């Protein structure tokens, strides 16, 4: 997984195993809540900086990370402040292995 920053940069790639991911189903929409234990520090730092660029400094412990796929099938990360529900979105790249893992856990959880 690699986060693509709005300014053109990106996080370092790492292999996300979705071990502690929670799946939410709502009105045909599926979101994956990513656990901090499964994310690299580089990825989290980039995600937090995307949030801070829009909303300013924030306690990183208040941020939650959700992955979903847009209507074109592209993976999107949504970083949410659980205190006030403000969020930012960023594009991410997934490896074929990660896409297969997501598909597998989605099918198994239904």
**How confident is the model over 62-107, as pLDDT tens digits?**
999 999 999 999 999 999 999 999 999 999 999 999 999 998 888 7
Interior/surface letters 13-23, b for 16+ CB within 10 angstroms, e for the rest? ebebebeebee
In angstroms, what CA-CA distances link 85 with 51, 79, 88, 102?
12, 9, 10, 25
Q: Are strands 87-93 and 2-4 parallel, antiparallel or unpaired?
A: antiparallel
Q: What is the pLDDT of residue 6?
A: 80
Q: What is the mean pLDDT of residues 44-57?
A: 93
**What's the whole-number average pLDDT of the chain?**
90
pLDDT tier at 21, thresholds 50, 70, 90: very high
Q: What is the pLDDT of residue 54?
A: 94
Is residue 33 classed exposed, middle or buried when 0-12, 13-18 and 19+ CB atoms within 10 A define those classes? middle
């Amino acid at each position: 997984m690699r986060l693509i920053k709005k300014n053109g940069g990106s996080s370092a790639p790492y292999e996300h195993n979705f071990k502690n991911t929670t799946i939410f189903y709502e009105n045909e929409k599926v979101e994956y809540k990513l656990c901090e234990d499964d994310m690299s520090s580089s990825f989290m730092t980039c995600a937090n900086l995307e949030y801070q660029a829009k909303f300013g400094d924030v306690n990183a412990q208040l941020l939650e990370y959700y992955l979903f796929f847009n209507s074109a099938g592209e993976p999107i990360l949504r970083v949410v402040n659980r205190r006030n529900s403000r969020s930012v979105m960023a594009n991410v790249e997934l490896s074929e292995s990660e896409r297969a893992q997501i598909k597998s856990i989605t099918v198994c959880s239904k």
